[in-house]
A and B are shown apart, each in its own frame.
Chain A
């Protein structure tokens, strides 16, 4: 099997949700610089408009507006009457990534994998190229996270959705509440993502006007090790990217680590040292991640854009 890209190779800090029924948003939101845009056919589309949203998303995926942009589409859950039609609508239009909601176990992913294979064949896509992002929103999804994350080579990421998860846990989700409420679930999917070497996305922050609360939550998930977060409004992109941007000091240090590693390799030394301290492979990998993140964030060592 071809080695999967490590999460840091493509920036994946932000995944912006766009209702699949909203023509204006589907025509414009590509400008905001989200790392991924996700067209939604699920919760934001009323049952009455499932058919037209599917057509609109299908046409958007094929349009020059979205050409060359890897778009994510959230289809309706596997046990709904919409799932099969959604999948056909987006695979026939060459979607890059399918986000499957309400994933409870690895069997669902294997089912989706098989369906994708059939549809890729039917519509002439290269087999296996459609990727999967699994959203877990229940106790069983969280507990089965490792199995889910490793269920298919198509898996590109795993995401947590808090609203239904909280209800499943006999509580309610309140972003302003103590972060410990989601602590176990966050850790569980993070571990699964790292085991599977895929992206890991945190929950949405619904109150668009509460930048302070949003940034508090971002600080928590960044520290935990998340790659990014699902977003409900373009206004959340910039604060999120800024929060994920490494500091100039971090970037400078990373460059020195990489330079030391390159130098050591050139002279054939097995051991790399910087400022008299040993540097091992994980430190070098982390330094590469920091530099790539700095590049996409616009950070420069000598006082650049920010």
Chain B
């Protein structure tokens, strides 16, 4: 899946995450988190895994995490990527 346009999903409220995607030559992931000390590594793993499932190999992915649980981070990455790729979800693959 290819990021064609800038897109955003999620919010900056507590327990949520705001994910921005933009077209780029190569894949770059930026994560900031209110629970960086305890869960920074796990959040990066979740984001990378989700991008992999969606087949995203290039693009700028920025995640501002406000202590979201894993399932929220996954959904917000999916939301931003699908919007950026102007694609519909394949529910089997999510």
Contacts and interface: CB of A to CB of B under 8 A. Distances in A.
A23 B82 contact: no
Contact of A23 (B13, B88, B94): B13
B89 A89 contact: yes
B10 A28 contact: no
B92 A58 contact: no
B39 to A, nearest CB: 14
B94 A63 contact: no
Interface residues of B, number: 25
A60 interface: yes
B78 to A, nearest CB: 5
Nearest to A88: B91
Interface string A39-66: 0000000000001101110111011010
A24 interface: yes
Given A27-B69, A28-B15, A52 B75 contact: yes
A52 B79 contact: yes
Interface string B72-94: 10111011001100001101101
Contacts of A62: 71
Given A63-B69, A123-B91, A56 B83 contact: no
Contacts, number: 67
A89 B68 CA distance: 21
Nearest to A92: B91
Contacts of B17: 23
A52 B17 CA distance: 12
Given A23-B13, A28-B15, A52-B79, A63 B71 contact: yes
Contacts of B13: 23-24
B15 A23 contact: yes
B6 to A, nearest CB: 16
A52 B91 contact: no
Given A58-B94, A59-B94, A88-B91, A52 B74 contact: no
A293 interface: no
Given A89-B91, A92-B91, A59 B15 contact: no
A18 interface: no
Given A89-B89, A123-B92, A24 B14 contact: yes
B94 A52 contact: no
B10 A59 contact: no
A92 B76 contact: no
Contacts of B14: 24
Contacts of B11: 23
Interface in A85-136: 85, 88-89, 92-93, 123
Contacts of A23: 10-11, 13, 15-17, 68, 72, 76
B91 A51 contact: no
A200 interface: no
Nearest to B13: A24
A123 to B, nearest CB: 7
A24 B71 contact: no
B79 A55 contact: yes
A79 B29 CA distance: 40
A59 B91 contact: no
A62 B75 CA distance: 11
A219 to B, nearest CB: 36
Most buried by B among A23, A26, A62, A93: A23
A59 B92 contact: no
A265 to B, nearest CB: 50
Given A55-B9, A88-B91, 18 more contacts: A23-B10, A23-B13, A23-B17, A24-B13, A24-B14, A27-B72, A51-B82, A52-B10, A56-B76, A58-B75, A58-B91, A59-B78, A59-B94, A63-B71, A65-B69, A89-B89, A92-B92, A92-B94
